[in-house]
């Protein structure tokens, strides 16, 4: 009967493969090398097969942000975790795919904490988005004036009504993707946390109802 290779030895083999291939697998970003997430998952699968399990869970999914946690199990034993946060108002991709972005990031951090990385825990995808979002935010701050006036055109009641009236998940996402509403929610989170919590709760409830295909 063939003896099963220990998880410790398999992990060391996977780590060694990544180090040998890091130039091939990494992308240079502002003078530093970051590994992509996809190839690292492939290497983990190559060495562990179905003995490794990646589990993701949604910690928070509201109108303004998404928080997710990833857990990696080997032989049913928890060996690494990773957490990520994405804001729907920051970056063009997050307007429609914040949840997907967040899942990718938390998996990347879990892989890094497991040791399947170079000397950077952050993945290429995570750092690239951070740089892009920072540049977009800087450009937005330079090009938009009179934000206080913009906020006056949006009210708590109008946002609640738009969320309530959303008939599809895409139209629900579109509500909080509107620039003026994004600015309003950003300010509301600091100025009136109670109302912001109510908006988050309604958004989550509406999202669940639409996902389940029920009529509100």
The reply to whether the predicted model has a pTM over 0.75 is no
Closest-CA residue to 23 (of 149, 121, 160, 118): 118
Domain ranges of the chain: 9-141, 145-211
Task: Give the mean pLDDT of the chain.
Answer: 79
Q: Does domain 9-141 have CATH number 3.30.70?
A: no
Question: How far, in Å, CA of 184 to CA of 156, rounded?
Answer: 9
The answer to whether 116 touches 18, Cβ cutoff 8 Å, is: yes
Q: What is the pLDDT of residue 32?
A: 67
The two tokens of residue 147 are: 């934000």
> Is pLDDT larger for residue 33 or for residue 198?
198
Look at residue 33 and tell me whether its pLDDT is greater than 80. Answer: no
Neighbours of 76 (CB within 10 A): 7
Confidence label for 70 from pLDDT (cuts 50, 70 and 90)? very high
Q: Which carries the bigger pLDDT value, residue 180 or residue 121?
A: 180
Q: Does residue 120 have a pLDDT over 70?
A: no
Please report the pLDDT score of residue 94 as a whole number. Answer: 80
Q: Which among 203, 190, 183 is positioned nearest to 63, based on CA atoms?
A: 203
């Amino acid at each position: 009967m063939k003896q099963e290779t220990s998880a410790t030895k398999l992990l060391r083999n996977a780590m060694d493969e990544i180090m040998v291939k890091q130039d091939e697998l990494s992308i240079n970003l502002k003078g530093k090398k970051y590994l992509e997430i996809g190839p690292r998952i492939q290497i983990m699968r190559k060495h562990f097969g179905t003995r490794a399990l990646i589990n993701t869970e949604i910690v928070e999914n509201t109108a303004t942000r998404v928080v997710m946690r990833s857990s990696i199990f080997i032989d049913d034993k928890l060996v690494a975790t990773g957490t990520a946060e994405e804001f729907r108002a920051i970056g063009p991709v997050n307007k429609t795919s914040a949840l997907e972005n967040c899942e990718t990031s938390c998996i990347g951090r879990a892989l890094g904490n497991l040791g399947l990385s170079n000397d950077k825990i952050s993945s290429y995808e995570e750092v690239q988005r951070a740089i892009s979002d920072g540049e977009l935010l800087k450009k937005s701050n330079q090009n938009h004036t009179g934000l206080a006036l913009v906020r006056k055109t949006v009210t708590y009641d109008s946002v609640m009504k738009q969320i309530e009236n959303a008939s599809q998940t895409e139209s629900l996402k579109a509500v909080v993707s509107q620039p003026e509403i994004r600015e309003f929610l950003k300010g509301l989170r600091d100025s009136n946390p109670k109302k912001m919590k109510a908006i988050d709760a309604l958004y989550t409830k509406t999202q669940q109802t639409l996902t389940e295909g029920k009529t509100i």
